[in-house]
Chains A and B, each alone.
Chain A
């Protein structure tokens, strides 16, 4: 684990750049992480982020893709359009959550 400075905030991250403390997250951080993977966040992305953070706070772990689709009410196909480089990991990454452990 190490510390990175994202959007002017010092945050703890793992070796793959996933934040390890969700409390350190801010919306500006999400925007910067998103930009680093080539995304500019839309209203639909924010809907995903909002669900992921809420769900992770409830369950103690980041949701899998299928759970995001159901909970955020966004079809799986659209999740792939929103995060073309891998919605299963990027949704959690921009949401300031740890690397997801769900297989679906």
Chain B
């Protein structure tokens, strides 16, 4: 609730505002679902908004050392992909689509997922892995890229995202 405050000389002053903050939950590990969360978090930091990114379930692929450089776009069962699902489902198709997408991104000078994580780390964004999902996949903190600050529980996520605008990806 807004309560008017006054400084020592009795002049009304605006109550001190908390810095704006976003909390982004990355729950999917396909290339096309990795970028939105990372780009939004980075954009927030670039304009001085605090950012917390919580990677859970398949989103853990984005921060898993062995997978971060090998994310593929989700092309099967995706109505936006101009390719029949039967063909998209053929072996090697996703890898091929991924290679094409990465080539196009490199041409446009869009950073790789790994570089996005490095940018976020340098920006002071906080990256967290989800403990329950990690237990489920048999992952430990050592399996994650070094930019990840901590492995936390769902309840801890709410502590860290207090007052933040939350975005689920």
Contacts and interface: CB of A to CB of B under 8 A. Distances in A.
Contacts, number: 40
B46 interface: yes
A84 interface: yes
* Tier of interface size on chain A: 10 to 19
B122 A88 contact: no
Contacts of A19: none
A104 B111 contact: yes
Interface string B37-52: 0010011011111000
Contacts of A89: 46-48
Contacts of A45: none
A75 B122 contact: yes
A85 B49 CA distance: 8
A66 B42 CA distance: 11
A86 interface: yes
A76 interface: yes
Contact of B45 (A75, A80, A90, A103): A80
A65 interface: yes
Interface residues of B, number: 15
B84 interface: no
The A contact surface, by secondary structure, is helix
A8 B161 CA distance: 43
Nearest to B120: A76
A96 B43 CA distance: 21
Given A88-B46, A89-B46, A76 B39 contact: no
A77 interface: yes
29 contacts: A65-B119, A66-B111, A75-B122, A76-B119, A77-B122, A80-B124, A84-B48, A85-B48, A86-B45, A86-B46, A86-B47, A86-B48, A86-B49, A87-B46, A88-B45, A88-B46, A88-B47, A89-B46, A89-B48, A90-B48, A103-B39, A103-B42, A103-B43, A104-B39, A104-B42, A104-B110, A104-B111, A104-B116, A104-B119
Given A80-B124, A104-B42, 5 more contacts: A65-B46, A66-B119, A86-B49, A88-B47, A103-B43
Lowest 9 CB-CB distances: which A-B pairs, in order?
Answer: A88-B46, A86-B48, A76-B122, A77-B122, A85-B48, A86-B47, A89-B47, A65-B46, A103-B39
Interface of B: 39, 42-43, 45-49, 110-111, 116, 119, 122-124
Interface of A: 64-66, 75-77, 80, 84-90, 103-104
